[in-house]
Amino acid sequence: MAKKNTNKENDAGSPEKSIGMNKLASGGAVHMPITKAAQYVGGSASTIFTQPMFFSPLHTPQNWQIASKRREVTQWARFYYENEPKAAAGIDFYANFPMNGFKLECKDRKVLAFYEHMVEKLNLENWLRQISHEYYLIGDVFVFTEVECPVCSGTGERIDGMICNHPDGVIKRILILNPDFVEVQKTQLADEPAIVLLPDDDLKKVVSQKKPLEVYKKMLEEKSNLLKLLIN
């Protein structure tokens, strides 16, 4: 009996109380068991196997967003010129600063008078500024000069099929071609690259639909050979 009483005294003096198989702390904190569950997928249908990634400095998400084609590059350049004042001011300065006018000099007064008349007729100073501006804007410029020739009428080909050197010919007008529709073709077999003008949608529409009729008739009179190429 003494042994039994001793056990009761020990139980009463212990910091924990035993209720059934669970033990509760005297402070009120409950000890809950922590369990972890794991699932093995293995070779089920939800498993996806992919090829290992390879590195290339050209094929990265950053490089894919950078303009690489010529038309995209020119579009980006014009966008920043129109929307960034500092870029526009810098381009305007470098384009207009070298073109402050010029003066022709020649000992023969007749020759000097002829070329001075041509400069005034073509408005050459204005065109030089536009050419310089296009160059500093996109880094390239394609200038087209139309020749007025009494032999070939500006086509560059004589009646006998030979190339015309434009005797007594003069420059009729100057144009700056849209670089988006100009293609430079280089080959190792030719010393100089071939510059090809690709017709845009508006020009194709004029040729195919003959509208507007006034523009088509004017093109037919002056550029009959070119129209044949466009139609074909």
The DSSP line for 148-210 is E-TTTTTSSB-TTSPBP--TT-EEEEEEE--GGGEEEE--TT-SSPEEEEPP-HHHHHHHHH-
Q: At what angle do helices 201-209 and 224-231 cross, to 10 degrees?
A: 100
pTM of the entire structure? 0.64
Residue with the two structure tokens 């204005």? 126
For the chain, what's the residue count?
Answer: 232
Task: Decide: 111 and 130 in contact? Cβ < 8 Å.
Answer: no
What stretches of the chain show up as alpha helix (H) in DSSP?
2-13, 61-65, 70-83, 85-96, 109-122, 124-138, 201-209, 213-222, 224-231
Beta-bridge mates of residue 18: 23
In degrees, rounded to 5, the angle at the alpha carbon of residue 149 between the alpha carbons of residues 145 and 153 is: 95
pLDDT tens sequence for the chain (232 residues):
444 444 444 444 444 444 445 554 455 555 555 555 555 555 555 666 666 667 788 778 888 888 888 889 999 999 999 999 999 999 999 998 888 888 999 999 999 999 999 999 999 999 999 999 999 999 989 998 888 888 888 778 888 888 898 888 899 889 999 888 888 888 888 788 888 888 888 888 887 887 788 877 777 766 555 555 455 4
Of the CA atoms within 13 Å of residue 197, those in its CB half-sphere come to: 15
Strands 182-185 and 194-197: antiparallel
